[in-house]
Chains A and B, each alone.
Chain A
Amino acid sequence: QQQVKQSPQSLIVQKGGIPIINCAYENTAFDYFPWYQQFPGKGPALLIAIRPDVSEKKEGRFTISFNKSAKQFSLHIMDSQPGDSATYFCAATYTGGFKTIFGAGTRLFVKA
């Protein structure tokens, strides 16, 4: 029940394409869903996050879509660029808890 399932494991898109990464969770107590971006040789860094009271959040070219009833959320990257090539982790946590549960990660490669 604590797991966050992420797919796909890897993704290759052409420059300008819209990669979509999907995540699903079981624990309805989760109320904060961040996405982290990790470049090779670096630690993960927060990219964008959403709370379940909204269905969509946009920050620049990055959009999170959230479906509370299905317990699913996804990351869309508009007009993807080679510089977006990285590993993306979805995650979930809850107010009053200390632990963030991370998905397994998606390795994205954007071809020039």
Chain B
Amino acid sequence: DAGVIQSPRHEVTEMGQEVTLRCKPISGHNSLFWYRQTMMRGLELLIYFNNNVPIDDSGMPEDRFSAKMPNASFSTLKIQPSEPRDSAVYFCASSLDGGMGGEQYFGPGTRLTVT
């Protein structure tokens, strides 16, 4: 298996622009997680899905952030409009049977820079 796939790997955009991050989880996994990592705040869980349904989005910082999972093999995280403070590395992770403490497999991350 190719593992969790994220695109793009790097994104540089100007403040106010829309940014869309993409994730393809490992085939057969039924839980998907979006994280944000910064030096100041560490690894923060933004939202997670189970069987394509959003379970908890309490970590989404504000209404500018939205996430979708239209099917079991694809998810997006959108920021509109983007701000410099959104600059971070965004990770997608997937797991099988997320309710049983299953191992999470992380993608390589998307490094977002908002100027």
A31 to B102, CA, bound (A): 11
A79 to B105, CA, bound (A): 27
If over half of B's interface residues share one DSSP class (helix, strand or loop), that class is named, otherwise mixed; here it is: strand
Distance between A81 CB and nearest chain B CB, rounded to angstroms: 23
B50/A34 in contact, CB under 8 A: no
Mask: chain A, 96-107; 1 = CB below 8 Å from B; 0 = not: 111110101100
Distance between B25 CB and nearest chain A CB, rounded to angstroms: 13
Which segment, of B62-70, B75-83, B93-101, faces chain A?
Answer: B93-101
| Given A89-B43, A98-B50: A44 and B106 interface contact (C-beta under 8 Å) | yes
Q: A43, A95, A98: which contacts B106 (Cβ < 8 A)? A: A43
B101/A32 in contact, CB under 8 A: yes
Is A61 part of the binding interface, using a Cβ–Cβ cutoff of 8 Å? no
B99/A97 in contact, CB under 8 A: yes
Is B55 part of the binding interface, using a Cβ–Cβ cutoff of 8 Å? yes
Chain A residue contacts of B103, Cβ below 8 A: 34, 46, 49
Chain A residue contacts of B93, Cβ below 8 A: 43
Mask: chain B, 22-43; 1 = CB below 8 Å from A; 0 = not: 0000000001010000000011
A100/B104 in contact, CB under 8 A: yes
A50 to B68, CA, bound (A): 33
Add 17 more A-B contacts to A41-B109, A105-B43 (CB < 8 A).
A34-B103, A43-B91, A43-B93, A43-B106, A43-B108, A44-B91, A44-B106, A49-B101, A89-B43, A95-B100, A96-B100, A97-B101, A98-B50, A98-B56, A98-B98, A99-B48, A102-B42
Interface on B for A, CB 8 Å cutoff? 4, 31, 33, 42-43, 45, 48, 50, 55-56, 91, 93, 98-101, 103-109
Interface on A for B, CB 8 Å cutoff? 31-32, 34, 41-46, 49, 89, 93-100, 102, 104-105
